[in-house]
Amino acid sequence: MSDPIRIFLIDDHQVLRQAIADMLDGQDDLRVVGQAGDARSGIDRMTALERYPDVVVIDLKMPGLSATGAIAEIARTHPATRILVFTMYDNPGYVWSTMNAGASGYLLKNASREDLLRAVRSVAAGNGYLQSEVTMPLVKRLIQEARVAGDRGSLSVREMQILEALAEGRSNKMIARAMDLSEETVKSHLRRIYEKLGAADRAHAVAIALRQQLIG
């Protein structure tokens, strides 16, 4: 059996932080190794640990050192540690700044328990994670940028349509039905979209666009 994913929580809301810790510790593959109420003390406590955590779950608005500054410091000093922003703010500008600083995921506090568990496990595995409420407006901006650019390597009209459908939260089956395509054809289009963007999935595609400043 592999070692559990080691998680550190940084959030100035103590009751919420403890509730999240209890929920995560209830999973066999997850273990909370520490907590802090602000970014600076969080970094200091993590540094004092025998081994740095695998995942840091951090709030966006806290006193003292900004979350973006903390993310940049953690990413620079411990690049193997993955960072998940867990916040109530869905502003695309915040998504851009934190992803650009080194965060691997962005999740809103209205997310379900299953979403939080999925996000932690996803970033721990080396993948990105963006909640659909955050992804949709960013994907639409990416589409607009691609249309304006008009480069030869940009997405085709059909690929644009499918990406727009993804941004609206439609499943592969729904897209196939609306476009009179088979699900396999939709999956084939998705593979080409990810290949053109150099992405593994939708969340990764948006993360790449953010890092390359294609969208803001």
- pLDDT tens string 148-195: 555 435 667 787 777 777 666 678 888 899 898 999 998 888 888 777
CATH topology agreement for domains 5-130 and 133-211: no
| Tokens linked to 11 | 């959030």
| Tokens linked to 137 | 């407006």
Contacts of 123 (CB under 8 A, 6+ apart): 55, 82, 83, 84, 104, 105, 129
pLDDT > 60? residue 145: no
Task: Tally helices (H) and strands (E) across the chain.
Answer: 10, 6
- Residue 214's pLDDT band, with cuts at 50, 70 and 90, is very low
pLDDT > 80? residue 1: no
Q: Identify the residue whose tokens are 């993804």.
A: 166
Q: What pLDDT is attached to residue 152?
A: 36
The C-alpha atoms of residue 73 and residue 65 are separated, in whole angstroms, by 11
Q: Is the pTM of this model over 0.75?
A: no
pLDDT > 80? residue 216: no
Q: What pLDDT is attached to residue 71?
A: 93
The C-alpha atoms of residue 149 and residue 38 are separated, in whole angstroms, by 42
| Other Cβ atoms closer than 10 A to 82 | 28
Q: How far apart are the first and last CA of the chain?
A: 42
- DSSP-assigned letter for residue 9: E
Q: CA separation (Å) from 18 to 21, 30, 37?
A: 5, 15, 11
Q: What is the mean pLDDT of the chain?
A: 82
133-211: CATH architecture? Orthogonal Bundle (1.10)
Domain edges within the chain: 5-130, 133-211
Q: Tell me which fold the domain 5-130 belongs to.
A: Rossmann fold (3.40.50)
| Tokens linked to 131 | 């909640």
